[in-house]
């Protein structure tokens, strides 16, 4: 990430809460060629803030920004 932003503890807590609340335990996530990971593994990557954890955090933060700015609705209305 070239324009990397500082990831705060509150951001990590928010992402972990979203993962715990929204993802079923049987779901797997795959990022690039790193293979798939379980819900628990996603949370662990976020906690240790490794490269995969940073990508997960940024996906959630960008999604939240798109919702709050109205960009998501604009894009959905284009369909």
Q: Within a domain: residue 45?
A: yes
Work out the pLDDT band at 1, boundaries 50, 70, 90.
very low
Long-range pairs for 11-14: beta carbons < 8 A, 24 or more residues apart:
11/57, 11/61, 12/46, 12/47, 12/49, 12/57, 14/60, 14/64
**Structure confidence by residue, pLDDT tens digits, 28-66:** 988 877 789 999 999 999 999 999 999 999 999 999 999
Q: Within a domain: residue 3?
A: no
Give how many domains the chain has, as a whole number: 1
Domain housing 23: 9-77
Could you give the percent of the chain with pLDDT greater than 90?
68
- Chain-wide mean pLDDT for the chain? 90
Q: Within a domain: residue 2?
A: no
Q: Within a domain: residue 1?
A: no
């Amino acid at each position: 990430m070239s324009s990397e932003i500082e990831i705060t503890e509150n951001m990590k807590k928010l992402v972990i809460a979203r993962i715990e609340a929204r993802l079923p335990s049987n779901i797997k996530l795959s990022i690039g060629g790193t293979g798939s990971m379980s819900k628990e593994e996603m949370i662990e990557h976020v906690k240790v803030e490794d490269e995969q954890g940073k990508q997960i955090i940024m996906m959630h933060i960008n999604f939240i920004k798109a919702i709050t700015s109205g960009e998501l609705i604009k894009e959905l209305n284009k369909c």
